[in-house]
A and B are shown apart, each in its own frame.
Chain A
Amino acid sequence: MAAVEGLFTLDADEPHLVGGRARSRGSYFFPKALAGSDPACLGDEIDEVLLSRTGRLWSFTTGEYAPPAPYVIPGEEFEPYVIAAVRLEEENLVVLGQVVSGVSVDELSVGMEMELAIDVLYSDDEHDYLVWKWAPAGRRENGEA
């Protein structure tokens, strides 16, 4: 199940982030619930849209130390992870996400093509809690999804 409902689709082959688009202005937002900040959208209808599932790497970093709650450490021990910020070209929107496991920062460079994947964020006895992650284009098989 999704770790938080309504932010992305669970289609394992072609997952999408679910965003908002101002009907007459054309600005995009992610998440839709945080639509705002464009003064021309005041009073505009915000439609729910599926955002592009590929984009160009805008920047990237690592998380070498365990973050505080509400981050849930998956597994027994904290493992460092990679975070990417990816620019969706049609939407001109930069979106954060973890990078699928098995990809190191040495393999990343700004401008490279990335695609959306669905992966396990953490698990408990009943469920796997899923989230979107970024993968270098064609490298989704490294994820656990």
Chain B
Amino acid sequence: MDDIAILGVGMHPWGKWGRNFVEYGVKAARDALTDAEVGWDEVQFVSGANSVRCGYPGYVSGSTFANALGFTGCQLSSSYAACASGATALSIARAQILAGVCDVALVVGAETTPKGFFAPNAGERHEDPDWLRFHLVGATNPTYFALYARRRMELYGDTPEDFAAVKVKNSRHGVFNPNARYTKEYDVDDIANSPMVADPLRLLEICATSDGGAALVVSSLEWAASRGVTDPVRVSGISTVSPTYPNSVIELPYLASDSWAAVGDETMTFKDNIAGRAYEEASVSPEDLDFAEVYDLSSAYELDWYEHIGLCERGDAAKLLRAGDTALGGRIPVNPSGGLGAFGEAVPAQAIAQVCELVWQLRGEAGHRQVEGAKVGLSINHGMFGHGSSVICTI
């Protein structure tokens, strides 16, 4: 797969600002255009990542953001893929660029979130698994994160202290990130003293819901070169694959896993599949990574990713953590941005924000959270209903 260039990145800081999501997206987009030294009137394609929590404008995000920036007659697209929405919007921009349909595109996502648990849409829908799991079981998102955490404890001997150590590590990284919502450094006692939400996970270990916005300006390598940008950060691989049947893990928002009675076995999981396509497209392997941004929906969930992206064998993630390998200054820093633990989740913006961090790291512009000499970075996330994504950037 040919690469495209990332010319500019921008974010609106994460928080619980309670303002119109469009404002966050516009701020991020303007910063990305300034960073890229590209005029809004030069953008030929806007690829929006949708929000399902912000009314009709959220469902037509490409148009919403283009309208707010000023309609210029550029082409529009609006994507929804749960937590993978931002990477899906990027993949569509890449396809347009590589097909020669456009030279330069803006990718943007933003969201305003309500307080508390994410909840299903109103109404009574007996064939909607998202409705059924709340109504019949009271299974919230942290329910699923906690089931995975408990599996780690039972199968691999991970401890609640290991999970807390993930949050401590990411909080230390987040201190240095001006776009993070939480910039307090936590210690293990803070976490142990926070309320239990879904045993064994405590409040400080579960991703909050946040407001935020993020944007990228991307182009063909030729167009970048025509602007004198000869060594940009490149998008070298994007994965937006579906699970491969059977997925033995109960995924949000389902009441049951796939059955492996007829084919497959209990080791098959979706999270193992997601990175593969990105590695393949980028022609890199886990050993080539200098750092990774992974979706730490909970503290324990980050450990799952170490194994699923191939940093270690299954069951060995806590060893990497305990050895300090995944902290800044370690062998393979994970979530140098502070991750979701420091940000909370602004769904359509989050996968784009992950790519912003890849770019700042690869340019050497990450300040006190810089991974020295970083050349290859991977981001990965996992959403509901079998959506997930991974992006590999290189320089």
Contact = CB atoms under 8 A, between A and B. Distances in A.
Given A22-B262, A33-B127, A95-B255, A85 B135 contact: no
Contacts of B323: none
A29 B257 CA distance: 8
Contacts of A34: 127, 129, 254-255
Given A63-B198, A67-B138, A38 B250 contact: no
Contacts of B143: 61, 63, 83, 96
A94 B248 contact: yes
Contact of B139 (A4, A37, A83): A83
A40 B263 contact: yes
A130 to B, nearest CB: 10
Interface in A84-121: 85, 90-98, 105, 109-111, 121
Interface string A53-94: 000001111111101111110000000010101000011111
Interface string B232-273: 000000000001011111100011111111110010000000
Contact of B256 (A22, A61, A96): A96
A131 B266 CA distance: 27
Contacts of A67: 117, 119, 134, 138-140
A113 to B, nearest CB: 15
Contacts of A72: 135
Interface string B143-178: 100111111001100000000000000000000000
The winner among B116, B154, B257 for most chain A CB atoms within 10 A is B257
The winner among A5, A60, A96 for most chain B CB atoms within 10 A is A96
Contact of B134 (A37, A69, A95): A69
A67 B131 CA distance: 12
B263 A93 contact: no
Contacts of B249: 94
Contacts of A91: 259, 261
Q: Is the interface of B mostly helix, strand, loop or mixed?
A: loop
B151 A58 contact: yes
Contact of A85 (B147, B200, B201): B147
B198 A62 contact: yes
Contact of A27 (B135, B195, B263): B263
A27 B245 CA distance: 11
Contacts of A7: 136
A97 B137 contact: yes
B147 A61 contact: yes
Contacts of B132: 4, 31
B266 A92 contact: yes
Nearest to B248: A94
B268 to A, nearest CB: 11
Given A4-B136, A61-B199, A70-B120, A93 B257 contact: yes
A63 B138 contact: yes
A61 B149 CA distance: 9
A30 B126 CA distance: 13
Given A4-B126, A64-B197, A67-B138, A85 B250 contact: yes
B354 to A, nearest CB: 27
Contact of A93 (B131, B136, B140, B256): B256
Given A4-B136, A34-B254, A69 B147 contact: no
Contacts of A30: 255-256
B287 interface: no
Nearest to B242: A37
B101 interface: no
Interface in A1-58: 3-7, 22, 25-31, 33-34, 37-40, 58
Given A70-B131, A97-B137, A26 B250 contact: no
Given A40-B262, A61-B198, A70-B120, 5 more contacts: A33-B126, A37-B243, A37-B386, A38-B259, A92-B261
